[in-house]
Amino acid sequence: MSTESKTSPILSGRDSACRTVFLVCGCGNWMHTAGVDERWGERGDYEWVVRAECRRCRRHVGAVGSPEETAPLVDRLTWTDEARHALDRLPPYVQVLVKDETEAFARSRNERVLTFSVLAQARNGGAVAWDPDAEARLERVPAAVRAMARQELERTALEKGEPRVTVGMMQEVKGRYFGMFASRS
């Protein structure tokens, strides 16, 4: 199996083009993205599992790594299972609109993987802001779980339609996970 680096015509923009690494199967055909899963790695870091398949011989391969490492392996717009599940929970007449809105948002940012976060950001018009007090409090979270806590807090804000993460929201999320509201600030 070998790799080739090409410019992706799918997401080429006026000013810049996305770089894609195409996997080439032993039979000589390019392998295409079959799916992307989001997960937390063994060290507590966020990673993707990119699955690819050869459409000629049906060989399947997978790559695990950070989003930055694995994104070039994705050859087309691909919804993660988690994002697809969130989309499927919407009423059918809204699904089409949200799907189009999310895909346009991803294309505008030269992203090929549509995660729950990208879906929520498209619905919210961009990334979630953080109150300075909440950001300072997040710095006190142990480093091993800080990235996971950040993502969960941003996810909660986006699900609630809130534009920013506050200390109050942090207490609410902590209460949801630990069964009590923290009285400390």
Amino acid in the structure at residue 50: V
Could you list the pLDDT tens digit for every one of the 185 residues in the chain? 555 544 343 333 333 345 667 788 889 999 999 999 988 777 777 889 999 999 999 999 999 998 888 989 998 999 998 889 889 988 998 899 999 999 999 999 889 999 888 887 887 777 778 888 988 898 888 877 887 788 788 878 877 778 788 999 998 888 887 765 545 54
- Decide: residue 181, CB within 10 A, 0-12 exposed, 13-18 middle, 19+ buried: exposed
Q: Which helix (H) or strand (E) holds 48?
A: strand 46-54
Domains annotated for the chain, with CATH where assigned, are 1-74 (no CATH), 129-178 (1.10.8.550)
pLDDT at 162 (0 to 100): 80
Cα(118)–Cα(150) distance, rounded to whole angstroms?
15
Going by their DSSP bridges, the two strands 60-65 and 78-79 should be labelled as unpaired
Cβ(76)–Cβ(112) under 8 Å? yes
Residues 37, 115: Cα–Cα separation, whole Å: 9
Q: What are the structure tokens assigned to 50, written together?
A: 């990119």
